[in-house]
Chain A
Amino acid sequence: MPKQRNYKQEKKIKSILSTSLAYAVLLTLVVIWLYPILWIVLHSFREEYNNLGGLVGIVQSNYFPKNFGLGVYKELFTNTLFPRWFLNTLMVAIGSFIISTFMQLSVAYVMSKIKFGKRKLLLNVAIILGLFPGFMSMIAVYFVLKAFGLTGSLYALVLVYSAGSGLGFYIAKGFFDIIPNSLVEAAKIDGASNARIFTSIILPISKPIIIYTALMTFIGPWMDFIFARVILGIDNTENHTVAIGLYDWMYSSQNDSNTFTLFAAGSVIVAIPIVILFLSLQRYYVEGVTSGSVKG
């Protein structure tokens, strides 16, 4: 009898130990993962002044700021181009997400559900085109836009983001492939046109993939750095997006290391809506990724 209890106790202790070890590892990882993010947030609230009364923004090697306040945010919204950049990015994101979502879904639907002569050829061409590194064509895109007198403008950026977006139809196609063909055929027998099938049968049951596509195409412009930089140019700061603007504060040729706190505050403003959007739609994100790319 006592031996039995011993064994049980041992087992219990073992399990407690392993659980607490797991928690310890997890907590350590969480600290590592959150530290840079927390560091940025803390520095955005930093309020330290120099002898002349100006805000000190230089990266000093202290883990925690000595004074907190909203001074940096006030500075950000009154004395910098940041509000402008934010609106620019918002406009570009909205414009390209509406066009791109529509184009991606249409192409995905055609490639998945309509069987036409050159389908296989187009599919192969799309794959091959998608493999060229984006900047390979970027210079030429720049000159094409210049020929239309569009360089440096936000419309150009919307155009560039949405024009090629149809090539990213694979994930949505993966989703449409799973919708039974019999559904489409039944509707056809009932006399529905292809347009009607698309708008009133396929789209209503494709909510996860529509949301996934919309999310990705909306977040894209917030994250993009290279295309925006090339298309919008370096000098035209009024028309920059947040990514270029904030990068330039840190690392442009005439960079001013004094702007780190401004960068931090700007980052927080950019990140909050994106993170909320992403987290609240996370379910669709996972569904999208797993329905499109990971197939055993």
Chain B
Amino acid sequence: MINNNQQNNKSFINKVADKIVSFFKKIIQFFIGFFKGIYIGIKSFPSKMVKLGKFLAEKWNGFFERFKDGDLGTKLSHIFMGFGNIYHKQIIKGLIFLAIQVGFLFLFFSNPVINRSERVVFDPVTFVPIGTEVIDPGTPLGYKSLINLVTLGTNPGEGASGVRAADNSMLMLLFGVFMIAIIIVMIYAWLANIKSAYKVQKDLENGKKRKTFIEDLKDLLDTRFHILLLLPTLIGVSLFTLIPTIFMILIAFTDWGKGMVAGSQLFSWVGFDNFLAVFESSSEIGLNFIPVLTWTLVWAFFATFTNYIGGILLALLINKHEIKLKKIWRTIFVLTIALPQFITLLAVRQLISTAGPFNELLQSIGILSEPMAFLDRADSVTTARISVLVINLWIGVPYTMLMTSGILMNVPKDTYEAAQIDGATKFQAFRFITVPYIVFVTTPYLITSFIGNITSFNIIYLLTGGGPRGEGYAGGTDLLVTWLFKMTIDQKDYNVGSVIAIFTFIITASATLLTYRRSKAYKEEDTFQ
């Protein structure tokens, strides 16, 4: 019996150890696979294209079939949207399709201009208004915005800013992307219109009843309920995440950099120049990129592990059998999660500032002879970095503590009993049961928090503002994200900021996809039940 327990116990530990080893193996495999994948991707590109062509051909086949097989209504709805529905007496649905088409065509050909401004011109002698003069021609939305997307504006304006504005390249870029999105939606609606016309035709041919408008609406609550629920999010995400993101990616390929103001200077496409600048040691961004990237990764690593270990130790301490009032202890630490970070971090920043009470305390007990600048000592970046990491413990440890407390309560009790029977000391039980269990259960959390730390903006920005050193140039504690923020919001250096954002994305994306694809939640997502 005891033997059996021992074996179980061992096999459990072995299993956990194996899991950890295989996890790291998988990470290495991932990176090998990553580059292999790129290589294969390039090599198999032609055959992929053939495949895609076949896929599209199949899709279009259905399209032609519908055209060939369609009656007059269906055929006409290729040109006049909604005609098929109207022809088959689904009047309201047909009219909606028609309205969409009319609206689109109106937008496309009328080119509504946004931001146009004029001013009244006075006669220089009599001061009587004699007419108006265009200051800003505005930016059109419609087919012209597609042309503008290619040229990014041709009218350079007149004189210094104020006389007559140049084409607003930034808005032209934005509207171009916007117009393409509208066209894609339009194509989708057009195909849906044909499908709908064909369906009602077939339904009638097969002797089924045509669906009334009310029935279609009811479908939205049942078989098409997902469309209804997803629609607000789809619209919101497209407008406020997808289109803006594409816009920002495109900016990385323009020369919209320092000192250029949209509406007084024209931008142009520059291809990959900005990306090359990152690796040029002579440019400002090239000088800063590698140090900032290195510090970002170092920060993410240490911030994750110090918090992790600190949190587990604290949870163990509070969970100790002899400690009373566990809940109150926990709540005290949780206070730092509950408080808004802009309060706690700014308070700590004041507290340890050069003239702050912490410095005075250290001086009064004789540890320091003169005030120490923990966060902005210009000659020692390391001091600031260590300070930031230590303060991060204060913010992050309670979070890990809260999480591990729950996990600690779930450690299978029988393994402890088995270990006790085998004569293991408390420390051994801790070392060989508790630790592997926690590590095993929290590995996904560890990786997500590593990714979170790569982009932890608040802690750095509110504590040091990225300092010490440097306006424009990256400061000593600047992470990629805070550097990016400074570059775009403070310096208006949009194209370079955009390049940094793309690199940040590549780093977080590869890390996340690796974790996510490996996680049980994804793999077993379909087989869960």
| Shortest CB distance B317–A (Å) | 6
A263 to B350, CA, bound (A): 11
Known: A194-B221, A194-B222. A40 touches B406 (CB 8 A): no
Q: Is the CB of B347 within 8 A of A37?
A: yes
B-chain residues with CB within 8 Å of residue A152 when the two chains form the complex: none
Known: A177-B528, A294-B444. A250 touches B346 (CB 8 A): yes
A29 at the interface (CB under 8 A from B): yes
Q: Is the CB of B520 within 8 A of A296?
A: yes
Which of the candidate stretches B269-277, B328-336, B415-423 sits at the interface with the other chain?
Answer: B328-336
A-chain residues with CB within 8 Å of residue B432 when the two chains form the complex: none
Q: Is the CB of B521 within 8 A of A174?
A: yes
Instruction: Convert B215-247 into 0s and 1s, putting 1 for each residue whose CB lies closer than 8 angstroms to a CB of A.
Output: 000000111011011101100110111111101
A19 at the interface (CB under 8 A from B): yes
A263 to B144, CA, bound (A): 51
A13 at the interface (CB under 8 A from B): no
| Shortest CB distance A147–B (Å) | 6
| Shortest CB distance B237–A (Å) | 6
Q: Is the CB of A131 within 8 A of B512?
A: yes
| Shortest CB distance B389–A (Å) | 15
Closest to B220 in A: A195
B353 at the interface (CB under 8 A from A): yes
Q: Is the CB of A163 within 8 A of B239?
A: yes
Give the contacts of A92-125 with B (CB-CB under 8 A): 103, 106-107, 109-110, 114, 116, 122
Q: Is the CB of A267 within 8 A of B226?
A: no
A80 at the interface (CB under 8 A from B): no
| Shortest CB distance A214–B (Å) | 15
A135 to B504, CA, bound (A): 11
Give the contacts of B290-348 with A (CB-CB under 8 A): 314, 317-318, 320, 322-323, 329, 331-344, 346-348
| Shortest CB distance A55–B (Å) | 17
Q: Is the CB of B498 within 8 A of A136?
A: yes
Q: Is the CB of B244 within 8 A of A61?
A: no
Q: Is the CB of A143 within 8 A of B174?
A: yes
A5 to B406, CA, bound (A): 39
Q: Is the CB of B241 within 8 A of A167?
A: yes
Q: Is the CB of A59 within 8 A of B505?
A: no
Closest to B331 in A: A279
| Shortest CB distance A215–B (Å) | 10
Q: Is the CB of A22 within 8 A of B241?
A: no
B375 at the interface (CB under 8 A from A): no
A226 to B456, CA, bound (A): 12
Q: Is the CB of A247 within 8 A of B332?
A: no
A24 to B236, CA, bound (A): 52
In this complex, which of A110, A174, A246 has the most chain B Cβ atoms within 10 angstroms of its Cβ?
A: A110
| Shortest CB distance B358–A (Å) | 9
A294 to B520, CA, bound (A): 10
Which of the candidate stretches B31-39, B145-153, B481-489 sits at the interface with the other chain?
Answer: B481-489
A-chain residues with CB within 8 Å of residue B333 when the two chains form the complex: 29-30, 33
Partner of B221, one of A193, A222, A223: A193
Q: Is the CB of B455 within 8 A of A193?
A: no
Closest to A225 in B: B342
A7 at the interface (CB under 8 A from B): no
Chain B count of residues within 8 A CB distance of the other chain:
97
B187 at the interface (CB under 8 A from A): no
| Shortest CB distance B527–A (Å) | 11
Q: Is the CB of A290 within 8 A of B403?
A: yes
Closest to A114 in B: B226
Partner of B320, one of A22, A40, A132: A22
Partner of B317, one of A22, A141, A166: A22
Q: Is the CB of A131 within 8 A of B322?
A: no
A34 to B328, CA, bound (A): 13
Closest to B354 in A: A61
A203 at the interface (CB under 8 A from B): no
A-chain residues with CB within 8 Å of residue B351 when the two chains form the complex: 35-36, 39
A201 at the interface (CB under 8 A from B): no
Q: Is the CB of A294 within 8 A of B239?
A: no
| Shortest CB distance A239–B (Å) | 17
Partner of A159, one of B225, B240, B247: B240
Q: Is the CB of B406 within 8 A of A290?
A: yes
Q: Is the CB of A62 within 8 A of B512?
A: no
A35 to B335, CA, bound (A): 12
A290 to B353, CA, bound (A): 37
Which of the candidate stretches B65-73, B125-133, B376-384, B457-465 sits at the interface with the other chain?
Answer: B457-465
A70 at the interface (CB under 8 A from B): no
Closest to B393 in A: A32
Closest to A37 in B: B335
Q: Is the CB of A129 within 8 A of B338?
A: no
Q: Is the CB of B347 within 8 A of A267?
A: yes
Q: Is the CB of A295 within 8 A of B347?
A: no
B516 at the interface (CB under 8 A from A): yes
B114 at the interface (CB under 8 A from A): yes
B508 at the interface (CB under 8 A from A): yes
Q: Is the CB of A140 within 8 A of B356?
A: no
B441 at the interface (CB under 8 A from A): yes
Q: Is the CB of B348 within 8 A of A36?
A: yes
Partner of B343, one of A135, A174, A193, A270: A270
10 A-B residue pairs with Cβ-Cβ distance under 8 Å, sorted by A, are A62-B360, A63-B360, A110-B229, A122-B230, A133-B504, A136-B245, A137-B247, A194-B226, A225-B341, A226-B461
* Chain B residues engaging chain A, CB cutoff 8 angstroms: 114, 170-171, 174, 221-223, 225-226, 228-230, 232-233, 236-237, 239-245, 247-248, 314, 317-318, 320, 322-323, 329, 331-344, 346-348, 350-351, 353, 355-357, 359-361, 394, 398, 402-403, 406-407, 440-442, 444-445, 448, 455, 457-458, 461-462, 465, 481, 484-485, 488-489, 494, 498, 501, 504-505, 508-509, 512-513, 516, 519-521, 525, 528-529
Which 4 pairs from chain A and chain B are nearest by CB?
A166-B233, A140-B244, A163-B236, A137-B244
